[in-house]
Amino acid sequence: MSDRKIVRQPTAPAERDGWYAYYVLAILLLVYVFNFIDRQILAILAEDIKADLGISDAQLGFLYGTAFAMFYATFGIAFGRLADSWNRKKLITLGLSFWSIMTAASGLARGFLPLAACRFGVGVGEASASPAAFSLLYDYFSPRVRTTVLGIYSSGISIGAGLGLFLGGAILKGWADLYPEPALAPLGLKGWQVAFIAVGLPGFVLAFLVSSLREPVRGGRDGIVVEDNPHPFREVGAMLLGMTPLANWPMLGRQGGRKAVLLNALAGLVIASCAALLALVSHDLLQWAAMGIGVYAVFSWAQTLAMRDPVVFGLIFRTPSLIRLILGGSATVFMLPALMFWFVPFLQRFYAVDAGQAGAVMGGAYAGLGITGVLAGGIVADQLRQHFPQGKLVTWLGGMAISLVAAFLSLNSNSLPFAYATMFVSHFFASVAYGPWISMVNDLMLPRGRATVSAFAYMVNTMIGVALGPYLIGHISDALSASGIESGEALRRAMLTGLAITIVGILVVLTALRHVAKDEAGLLDRAKALGEPLS
Interatomic CA distance for residues 287 and 66, integer angstroms: 7
Average pLDDT (479-501) is 91
Cα–Cα nearest to 119, from 51, 180, 167, 68:
68
**Cα–Cα distance, 456 to 306 (Å, whole number):** 14
Contacts of 71 (CB under 8 A, 6+ apart): 120, 121, 123, 124, 127
Q: Confirm if 49 and 192 have CB atoms less than 8 A apart.
A: yes
User: Residue 234's pLDDT is what?
Assistant: 75
Q: Which residues pair with 6 in a beta bridge?
A: 226, 534
Among the listed residues 334, 496, 339, 505, the one whose alpha carbon sits nearest the alpha carbon of residue 424:
339
pLDDT at 15 over 60: no
pLDDT of residue 54: 92
Q: What CA–CA distance (Å, rounded) separates 34 from 163?
A: 9
Residues 40-66 pLDDT 10s: 899 889 989 999 999 999 899 889 888
Mean pLDDT over 461-483 rounds to: 87
Dihedrals φ, ψ of 15, to 5°?
60, 35
C-alpha distances out from residue 437 to 136, 138, 324, 472, 508, Å? 18, 15, 11, 25, 13
Q: Is the pLDDT of residue 23 over 80?
A: yes
Mean pLDDT over the full length of the chain: 86
- Position 224 scores a pLDDT of 63
221 pLDDT tier (thresholds 50, 70, 90) = low
Provide the whole-model pTM: 0.76
Q: Is residue 268 within 8 Å of 249, Cβ to Cβ? A: no
**Selected residue with higher pLDDT from 124 and 13:** 124
CB atoms within 10 A of CB 296: 23
User: For the residues 480-489, what does the mean pLDDT come to?
Assistant: 92
DSSP state at residue 188: G
**Which segment of 78-87, 159-168, 270-279 scores lowest on mean pLDDT?**
78-87
Q: What is the DSSP string of 21-52?
A: HHHHHHHHHHHHHHHHHHHHHHHHHHHHHHHH
CATH of domain 15-529: 1.20.1250.20
Per the document, the length of the chain is 535
Please state the separation of Cα 193 from the chain's center in Å: 24
pLDDT tens column, 290-310: 889 888 988 888 888 888 889
Question: At 98, is the pLDDT very low, low, confident or very high (cuts 50, 70, 90)?
Answer: very high
Q: What is the pLDDT of residues 238-289, one digit of tens each?
A: 777 777 777 888 888 888 889 999 999 999 999 999 999 999 998 889 889 9
Helices (H), 283-354: 285-308, 310-317, 320-332, 336-350
Closest listed residue to residue 168, CA positions, set 366, 32, 426, 432: 366
Q: How far apart (Å, rounded) are the C-alpha atoms in residues 128 and 469?
A: 23
Side chain identity, residue 479: A
> What integer is the mean pLDDT of 474-496?
92
Give yes or no for residue 79 having a pLDDT over 70.
Answer: yes
Q: How confident is the model at residue 17 (pLDDT cuts 50, 70, 90)?
A: low
The candidate with the shortest Cα–Cα distance to 165, out of 423, 380, 439, is: 423
**What average pLDDT score do residues 365-391 get?**
86
Q: Domain locations in the chain?
A: 15-529
Q: Is the dihedral of CA 179, 185, 191, 194 positive or negative?
A: negative
pLDDT-based confidence at residue 336 (cuts at 50, 70, 90): confident
Q: How far apart, in whole angstroms, are the C-alpha atoms of residue 80 and residue 306?
A: 16
CA distance 93 to 2: 26
Task: Give the range among 74-83, 115-124, 484-493, 507-516 with minimum mean pLDDT.
Answer: 74-83
Q: In this structure, are residues 133 and 28 in contact, taking their beta carbons and an 8 Å threshold?
A: yes
Q: Using the predicted structure, report yes or no on whether residue 227 has a pLDDT greater than 80.
A: no
Using pLDDT thresholds of 50, 70 and 90, give the confidence band for residue 138: confident
Q: What is the largest CA-CA distance in the chain?
A: 71
Query: Is residue 382 within 8 Å of 144, Cβ to Cβ?
Result: yes
Percentage of the residues of the chain whose pLDDT score is greater than 70 = 94
